[in-house]
Structure 1
Amino acid sequence: MTTVEPRRTGTAEPRDRVAADETVGITMTVNGTETTVTVPPRAHLGDVLREQLGLTGTHLGCEHGVCGMCTVLVDGEAARACLLFAVQCEGAEIVTVEGLGTPEDQHPLQQAFSAHHALQCGFCTPGMLMSSYDLLSNTPEVESEELPEQMSGVLCRCTGYRGILAAVDDVRQSHPDGVPGPRACGARTLVGRGTGGGSGAGAPAEDVPAAALAQEVRLPSGPPSAVVDVTSALRQPVERVWAVLDDFDLLARCLPGARLTEVLDGDRYRGRAVVALGPVKLSFDGLAQVVERDPAAHRLRFHAQGADAGGSATQADVVLAAEAGPDGGTVLTAHADVHLTGRVAQFGRALAGDVSRRLFEQFATSVDEAAETGSVTEPGRGAQLRLVLGTVRDTVGALVRRGLTRVRTLRRR
């Protein structure tokens, strides 16, 4: 349990205690637009801006408040969006890099960054722009030789740092009384991607993730975060294995940590899945929809999406196929294109792929058991521990092999 206090004294009354797995509706003004979002008390402002309001100009780097990539303005002062809980921003005025200017009406800082080639890879650019705006608006008398120290709160990762300082110095000289205010702040419709969002938009009817309220599954158009291909040899004959795949309720129970909560029309199913990876435990509410069911080919394809209260979301395109194997058994193949966003995506593509592959390996074992007994034994903590240890072992092994390959290459040279 946590007590949610407003960040701005006197603008709102303190809220009651909120459980860690509950959500809170907050209203704030973002780039001139008042918006209401529903967030868990532990969600930081950076994730809410990116995942729920679609303002992806705020970049997340270290998420420890060190690199400065996530710098935004909160009530006119620079703040790290990764260190600020969204619930602290009740009634606050937020300005992100999107509010600084538009392509048609760029802010002088944006124009200077372009003129001095201060962009390079662009990852630090939003943080540099917002930090330099804060510096020049609050301390216009700053001297040129002070800029390296004053701008050191945002870390540049490439060779464009001199250009950045030159751009800031150019604007400093051009506007000795302080830089103009943001040019793209005004009432508009925000891009809502999560619970709530939009100009004056209210929270959804229930405090559950948006994916759980969706009526159809929509997969992203971009490349997946991980591609999983798993082939498993099962003891049971193909017809008994297909009987499990054809029963979506039983099939869902074979997925580690998953269960159905509601059967809808159109071969759609609501459910919940809990995934534990060491100390990280994610609980997803979501929707699955069967898009192909071929009994003759023993092939099933379904799309699934889910989100948890912490801002993580996942979508997947899953294809399961069974064919007769040797000795009267079955060869079960599973292919999945997995899309991850939010906290769960921070594991990285390689680790996400390893975890997904091991989950499907456990799934195949459960399918074999269900084909034999008609039921599934829920995996205990020992299975979760094996998942963690196996993933870590494979990841370390891959790093060691990569290092050995690099050493051999250097020796040949």
Structure 2
Amino acid sequence: MTTVEPKRTGPAEPRARVAADETAGITMTVNGTETTVTVPPRAHLGDVLREQLGLTGTHLGCEHGVCGMCTVLVDGEAARACLMFAVQCEGSEIVTVEGLGTPDDQHPLQRAFSAHHGLQCGFCTPGMLMSSYDLLANTPDVVSDELPEHMSGVLCRCTGYRGILAAVDDVRQTYPDGIPEPRACGAHTLVGRASAGGTGTAVAEADVPEAALPQEVRLPSGPPSAVVDVTSRLHSPVERVWAVLDDFDLLARCLPGARLTEVLDGDRYRGRAVVALGPVKLSFDGLAQVVERDPREHRLRFHAQGADAGGSATQADVVLGAQPEPGGGTVLTAHADVHLTGRVAQFGRALAGDVSRRMFEQFAASLDEAAETGSVTEPGRGAQLRLVLGTVRDTVRALTRRGLAGARTLWRR
């Protein structure tokens, strides 16, 4: 039988305690490439594979270890990447679906899934492929009647179970002496959002010199987690409002919990933002880059990205516009496409949108103050409490409206 023989390095040496807001460096072999990453101690392997190494074939579904979408091989055994901390993988060999085969040299399992139509929407496919590889590699004598039970650890909603089982059974019969090993494991350059680039080594920003840090904000290509549109009426005249928008240092202080830490060339700024939602407190270190500044139209557009030590990350495309209002005031419009990953993404799209909207409402009030006085009052805990209570109130109202609408529908029936 030909299977992947994991490199057994033995248990890693015990480490000193790592605080929740610190990071730890780990070295592991991913698809045949030795890779060093610096990660928060609570970061899951799935997030590190996707966000730091760019291996997005590992899908994250329930993130509770139930759906099996995130299945990978760790030292030759199937493991849920959403349940495993990355720091547990020191010295381990990881194989993801990218290591199974390439478009030009597909693994037999990949060819069988295509031939038997074992993939519909494709979301469960990586987990199904890695789970079936683990099954056939470690239990080559499995029989056809046992496949449904063995493959039940990965959920398919489409459902394509019949095609999946047919594909796995086809490969089982074709290779009775052992399934071929993965075909795309070798020396590769792993390039992710936190990659040092060109060496196959990913390093966190805090552990590299300034010159090696990302020099521009890169937004994800997929749909945003939340879209925010806020219109506010300010007392200050439009020219004073634009003077604040044109001063990024003062503008940043209007954002709740944000402050600049460094001004770079090319209209780029480093900063820190703290967001407190009840017991959850997130501290983001990030980069902002102005991509459009139009004094005539009073329009400012910037991209921003940030990450916290708990594994959360956010990117945003923000457009701010100011138009004069009859009577001397200003109409301020704010549009933001917000992308969330990690723990902060678990709040859900609706709640994330509500929180973002309320933050922009607070921002508008602070901007009006800055336009009038040239300074901003630091929001206290009361403002954070109002943010939470307001969001909860709106959520309860929305749920109540849905319940009443559903009750009226049932009553008409």
TM-score (norm 2): 0.89
Shift of 1:279: 3.3
**Residues 207 and 360 from structure 1, CA distance in 2 versus in 1: closer, same or farther, beyond 3 angstroms?**
same
Name 1:315's counterpart in structure 2: 315
CA distance in 2, matches of 1:123, 1:205: 31
Shift of 1:57: 1.1
Name 1:343's counterpart in structure 2: 343
CA distance in 2, matches of 1:93, 1:186: 12
CA distance in 2, matches of 1:320, 1:375: 19
Deviations 1:31-62 (A, max 9, x none): 11111111111111000011111111111111
CA distance in 2, matches of 1:234, 1:208: 43
Query: Which region of structure 1 is more displaced relative to structure 2, 342-351 or 84-93?
Result: 342-351
CA distance in 2, matches of 1:272, 1:147: 51
**Residues 351 and 362 from structure 1, CA distance in 2 versus in 1: closer, same or farther, beyond 3 angstroms?**
same
1:362 corresponds to 2:362: yes
**Residues 273 and 313 from structure 1, CA distance in 2 versus in 1: closer, same or farther, beyond 3 angstroms?**
same
Shift of 1:156: 1.8
3-state SS, counterpart of residue 271 of structure 1: strand
Name 2:158's counterpart in structure 1: 158
Name 1:194's counterpart in structure 2: 194
CA distance in 1, matches of 2:222, 2:341: 12
One-letter amino acid matched to 1:76: G
One-letter amino acid matched to 1:40: P
CA distance in 2, matches of 1:297, 1:69: 47
CA distance in 1, matches of 2:92, 2:317: 40
3-state SS, counterpart of residue 206 of structure 2: coil
**Residues 115 and 267 from structure 1, CA distance in 2 versus in 1: closer, same or farther, beyond 3 angstroms?**
closer
The aligned runs of 1:202-351 (5 Å cut-off) are 203=203, 206-207=206-207, 213-351=213-351
Deviations 1:176-212 (A, max 9, x none): 2321211111111123222557654263673379999
Deviations 1:320-342 (A, max 9, x none): 22233344322222122323334
What percentage of aligned pairs have identical amino acids?
88
The aligned runs of 1:351-390 (5 Å cut-off) are 351-390=351-390
Name 1:5's counterpart in structure 2: none
CA distance in 1, matches of 2:352, 2:205: 32
Name 1:146's counterpart in structure 2: 146
**Residues 228 and 210 from structure 1, CA distance in 2 versus in 1: closer, same or farther, beyond 3 angstroms?**
farther
CA distance in 2, matches of 1:189, 1:72: 19
**Residues 327 and 321 from structure 1, CA distance in 2 versus in 1: closer, same or farther, beyond 3 angstroms?**
same
One-letter amino acid matched to 1:234: L
Q: Conserved in 2, the CA contact under 8 Å of 1:34 and 1:199?
A: no
TM-score (norm 1): 0.89
1:121 corresponds to 2:115: no
**Residues 407 and 178 from structure 1, CA distance in 2 versus in 1: closer, same or farther, beyond 3 angstroms?**
farther
Q: Conserved in 2, the CA contact under 8 Å of 1:52 and 1:196?
A: no
CA distance in 2, matches of 1:79, 1:374: 55
Q: Conserved in 2, the CA contact under 8 Å of 1:255 and 1:363?
A: yes
Query: Which region of structure 1 is more displaced relative to structure 2, 67-76 or 310-319?
Result: 310-319
Q: Conserved in 1, the CA contact under 8 Å of 2:227 and 2:336?
A: yes
**Residues 21 and 209 from structure 1, CA distance in 2 versus in 1: closer, same or farther, beyond 3 angstroms?**
farther
3-state SS, counterpart of residue 152 of structure 1: helix
**Residues 202 and 41 from structure 1, CA distance in 2 versus in 1: closer, same or farther, beyond 3 angstroms?**
same
Query: Which region of structure 1 is more displaced relative to structure 2, 53-62 or 203-212?
Result: 203-212
One-letter amino acid matched to 1:309: A
Deviations 1:276-307 (A, max 9, x none): 23333222212222333344443333222222
Shift of 1:150: 1.6
**Residues 159 and 209 from structure 1, CA distance in 2 versus in 1: closer, same or farther, beyond 3 angstroms?**
farther
Name 2:393's counterpart in structure 1: 393
3-state SS, counterpart of residue 242 of structure 1: helix
1:50 corresponds to 2:24: no
**Residues 100 and 221 from structure 1, CA distance in 2 versus in 1: closer, same or farther, beyond 3 angstroms?**
closer
One-letter amino acid matched to 1:357: R
Query: Which region of structure 1 is more displaced relative to structure 2, 133-142 or 261-270?
Result: 261-270
Name 2:82's counterpart in structure 1: 82
> Superposition RMSD on alpha carbons, in Å?
2.7
Unaligned runs of 5+ in 1: 1-7
**Residues 168 and 382 from structure 1, CA distance in 2 versus in 1: closer, same or farther, beyond 3 angstroms?**
same
**Residues 306 and 31 from structure 1, CA distance in 2 versus in 1: closer, same or farther, beyond 3 angstroms?**
same
CA distance in 1, matches of 2:41, 2:380: 29
Deviations 1:13-38 (A, max 9, x none): 22222121111221111111111111
Unaligned runs of 5+ in 2: 1-7
One-letter amino acid matched to 1:49: L
Shift of 1:107: 1.6
Shift of 1:12: 3.2
